[in-house]
Amino acid sequence: MAVVTDPQAPELTHLRHDGTAHMVDVSAKSATSREATATGTVHTTAAVMALLGAGDLPKGDALAVARVAGIMGAKKTPELIPLCHPLPLAKVTVDFDLGAAEVTVRATVKTLGVTGVEMEALTAVTVAALSVYDMIKAVDKHAVISDIQVLAKSGGKSGDWSVDADGGGTQR
């Protein structure tokens, strides 16, 4: 298979020159403190949010379950995403912001390692949001998960980055 590349395009690190996938060699990189924060939203109804906030859903305390699910998801990231490196996670936090008809999930992951934890933060948010969905689907089969994204990352060679007010990225 011939691979055509644009000389102006950034190099894709997970592809070899022949176009096949590989796990990036990070053995020469120095371990640094790294952190990433991601977010996502579960949209539902005001009635479901009242049940969620009160812990009165048929399946029980959805937020407690979703918090543990998100932490477990971060820890399982290299088992779920084929080219992710297993990392020694130092800290994983999963928090929820309850709105009128939505719950926003926010996860922050920290490590002292040779590669970033953006995928772990995204996986934590995604698994937590899926767990919220699972807990509310008995009362809202039309709930929607959306807007999963990295909000910020720090550490490593590429430096610090965060989403600015208009949704674009800002290098720090």
pLDDT at res. 98 = 98
**Tens digits of residue pLDDT in 61-81:** 999 999 999 999 999 999 999
Say which DSSP state 160 is in.
Answer: -
pLDDT at res. 13 = 72
**Tens digits of residue pLDDT in 112-129:** 999 999 999 999 999 999
pLDDT at res. 8 = 61
| More confidently predicted of 74 and 19 | 74
Nearest to 150 by CA among 161, 166, 134, 139: 161
**Which CATH architecture fits 32-153?**
2-Layer Sandwich (3.30)
d(CA 31, CA 120): 17
Task: Please give the mean pLDDT across all residues of the chain.
Answer: 89
Catalytically annotated residues: 134
pLDDT at res. 25 = 77
